[in-house]
Each structure stands twice: as structure tokens, then as C-alpha cells.
Structure 1
Amino acid sequence: MPRSRTLEPVVPQTIPPASVAVRATALRKVHGTGSTAVTALEHADLDVHRGTFTAVMGPSGSGKSTLVHCLAGLDEPTSGVVWVGGRQLTGLRDDELTRLRRDHVGFVFQAFNLLPVLDARANIELPSTMAGRRVDRAWFDDVVTRLGIADRLSHLPSQLSGGQQQRVAIARALLSRPDVVFADEPTGNLDSRSGAQVLSMLRASTREVQQTVIMVTHDPVAAAYADRVVLLADGRVAGELHEPTADSVLQALSRLGA
């Protein structure tokens, strides 16, 4: 059965232009009620353009994970509007939201989230298999070749290194050509060399196939791979950096008290 809705009234919004992959307008998220209520997001506005790599950073408790979860349709805002690929997420029924996430959003998690009994090929194809979609073999071959895992497709996750497992997860996220890929601390379980390879691949996906990537990270070095860093503080967008470096990110976080 559909979940009960407690959203505040949503003001109709103009559909974002085609150049915008993700838009959040006046996003507000409150956990709890009454005296125990905690505001995680307060009037957060954000546009993310297609074919760009955006990192979201901020002090602990700044609302960065909540923001990305709302943008990805994993959590619903208390009020405000979220668009992904010209489609409004806010107000969708559960089944509609599930289809939108399946068809238009990709996910890369810190823990890889691969099924241990399936080989790499089956893990990559799993969302398409579950959705009953035919896999584009030419695109599949292109993705796994770009990611350097074409010779590892028959291996189980336990037979792959951490970096290789994360590349499999990235291939799975890219296979459906989603409007946006959300990456939640994608290098958190990797050594520095493997982490650098994964970040380079995420960046290359925006350059070479015009993929849009939004990444949550606490690591200034990881953020420096992005085109843009969005800084959050107290549930609001507190600033942004373009063409960031690790040093410029550190300085910006220092100013925020991170």
C-alpha cells in the first residue's frame, strides 16, 4: 500500500532546462516532531548541470547525506521540490518513485553492494534483469572496457580486489545510462591507489560519456577530482568551489568549522 504522506503543500515549479540534470528548490527536511524535531535541511537550493561531477561536503551534521538522499529519491523532503532529468520526484507514489530510480538514477555505495553468489557480469546486469530490460551489449562492452574489468567478468566478488569490486559497482550504475549517478563515499573502503583509480573513472565518465555524477565525501583529495564542490552548513548551501584543489577545499571547510 502507498505510504501516508505528510508533505507540506508544494508550490508548482517550472520544469528545469534540459541542461540541468538535478534541481532542488526550497528543500526542507525535518526529522521528528514537536520539541524533538531536528531540521536537517533548511531552504536548500541546488542545480546540477548535465555532464558534470559535483562533490557535496560539509561538517558532520551539515545535512549533506540528507540532501543527497532527497535528491536521489531515497528520502522524501518535508517540503520543497526535487527534479531529476526533467521529472519531478516530489509527490510520486512509491511505485512511481521506484520506477524513476530504476530507470533514471544510478548508485555507487561505499560498501559496493555486490551479491556474493553472482559473478561480476551478473552483478552488473542485475538491475536490468530485474527490470526485464534487454542489455545493450555494445554499451556493456564499452563500459567494462573503459573500466578495465572486461577480463574479470566471470569472477565472483570474493575473487576481486576492492578497487575491482567498486569498478563493477560503477559499471552497474552506468549500464542503464541514468540521468545521474549518486556516489556515497565511493572510496571509503579503498586504499589510496584504488581510490584514485575509481575517482579518475568517475571523472572520465563525465568527460567521455557526459554522465552526471554527484558524490558525498569527507575527503578533500577525493573532492578535488570534481568539477565543483557544494558546501553545506546547518542544512543550507553555504558556498561552492569550482575547479577545486585539495588545499582550496581544506581552506573552505576550515572556514565552515569542519
Structure 2
Amino acid sequence: MTTTHAVRADDLVKIYGEGDTAVTAVDRVSVTFPAGEFTAIVGPSGSGKSTLMHLLAGLDTASSGSIRIGGTELAGLKDRELTTLRRDRIGFIFQAFNLLPTLTAEQNIVLPTELAGRRPDRERLAQVVADLGLSDRLGHYPAQLSGGQQQRVACARALMSRPHVVFADEPTGSLDTRTGAGVLSLLRRSVREWGQTIVMVTHDPVAAGYADRVVVLADGRIADDFRAPTPDGVADRLQWLATR
């Protein structure tokens, strides 16, 4: 990284529709996500948190404003350039895991690297799967794995290539409490031990409590931004938004 931020948005706007039916999902948001930190984005349903993450990750196009991944401005990138940036510099973890059912766990993990035309780093693979407790599951297909194991495979896939930033969209939403806590602990460790940058969207105050920092959205705008969150502190802020 040549900058101290992994992701930066300036005056970001996203409008869906036109005229009387236009909806502003993200309304002039400016926010920076420092490299090597775990940030959670929370907010009520319809607050724009998932839309914001999709914009930051280059999965959707902003109506106006600026987004930078490291030193690269997303606006103006051609489709092929944007695809390359997402492949080489961004990791994704989704609630639905998004594993290919016909590939083994190992094949799913190394797939992005192979699609990029590179040989997987076997030493890195061994480190990641060992840290995630997957060493004895590499030959299994997704259908042979529990939900928690599938999400750990998704985490390994996202972390394998040492991306500049990992975006996680409700990564524990379909997991039970114990399994979800295990996945969140792994994300926390990836920040502390590997210097990874995580930006996670969640509706869960407990999940947000694993982060270094919480950004709260309401009506497409940043309503709060604080560090050292606790589950109770996040819940109190969300309750305040619901009753104001």
C-alpha cells in the first residue's frame, strides 16, 4: 500500500430511479477505511449500508463522488480494469458463501488465484487453511461441509491472495451463534496477525463488537462513527436511531 487508507470515499452519492420515483440510497457520504483495521458498517434496514459496501467494492456504480482503493480511483476504469482490480486487490465474503458446488474446498480457495493466471502459493495456502482449521477438509465438496466450514472456506478464499481489503456482507447472517463467533474471531485474527483490512456490513451488534471501529448509517448518511465498540454500545446507537 502506498497510502494509509485501504478505501476512501468522498461525497459519494447513489440514486436509483429518476424523477418522482428516484430514491437516494447513499447521500453524500465521505468516509475513510484505514489499512490494517476492522470496520463494521451498521444501520437500520434500508439505511444504505449494503449499497455503500457494493459501491466501495466496485460491484455497483456511484451516481457521483469518488472512490479509491488504495491509490486507484474507480471512476473512469474500464470494465476489464475494474474486473482486474476486484480480482487482484479485493476479497469478498458473502452470507451465502458463494462456493462452487462442483469444486473441492481447496479448489474453491485457489480459484481466484488460478483465474488470475497465477500459481497458488502453497505455503500461503497451508498457513491460511491451518489457521482456519481446514487442513483436513480440503478434499471435501461444499455439500459435505457444515455451514461454518463453508464460511471458513469462503474466508480462506478471500484471504488467500493477501488482498488490499476484504469486504464481508453479513458473513455470519446464516450461521448459528457459536459458529458465527468462530468466523468473526478468525476475521479479527486476520487483522491482528496478518495486517488485513476488513470492511463488514452487519445488522448484528454482537458481530460489530468484534471490529476496531463502527460506522453507523441512517437514511443513506453517516449518523455516527466511533471506535472500540461494544455490543451494548452498538445496540444503544441503533435503538436511538429507531426512536429519534
TM-score normalised by the shorter chain: which range applies? over 0.9
- Residue from 214, 222, 226 that aligns with 2:211: 226
Q: Which of 139, 142, 153 is 2:124 aligned to?
A: 139
Map of 2:199 onto structure 1: 214
Matched, 1:63 2:48: yes
The alignment covers a number of residue pairs equal to 243
Per-residue deviation, residues 171-196 of structure 1 (Å, max 9, x unmatched): 00011111100000000111111100
Q: Residue 248 of structure 1 aligns with which residue?
A: 233
In structure 2, give the amino acid aligned to 1:227.
D
Where does structure 1 lack aligned partners over 5 or more consecutive residues? 1-15
What is the aligned partner in structure 1 of residue 65 from structure 2? Answer: 80
Q: How much does 1:159 deviate?
A: 1.0
Q: 2:103 & 2:151 partners in 1: Cα distance? A: 15
The separation in 1 between residues aligned to 2:148 and 2:36, in whole angstroms, is 24
Give the Å deviation of 1:241: 2.2
Question: Structure 1 residue 178 and structure 2 residue 158: aligned?
Answer: no
Moved more, 82-91 or 207-216: 82-91
Secondary structure at the residue paired with 1:150?
A: coil
Q: Distance in 2 between matches of 1:41 and 1:210?
A: 29
Deviation at 1:121, TM superposition (A): 0.4
Displacement of 1:17 after TM fit?
Answer: 6.5
- Mapped contact 1:85–1:104 kept (Cα < 8 A): no
Correspondence for 1:100: 85
Percent sequence identity is: 61
- Corresponding residue of 2:148: 163
8 A Cα contact 2:39 2:215, kept in partner:
yes
Task: Report how far residue 224 of structure 1 moved.
Answer: 0.4
Match of 1:149 in 2: 134
**Partner residue of 1:10?**
none
Tell me the residue number matched to 1:123.
Answer: 108
CA distance in 1, matches of 2:91, 2:129: 16
What TM-score, normalized to structure 1? 0.92
SS in 1 for 2:189: helix
Are the aligned partners of 1:179 and 1:211 in contact in 2 as well (CA < 8 Å)?
yes
Structure 2: which amino acid aligns with 1:44?
Answer: V
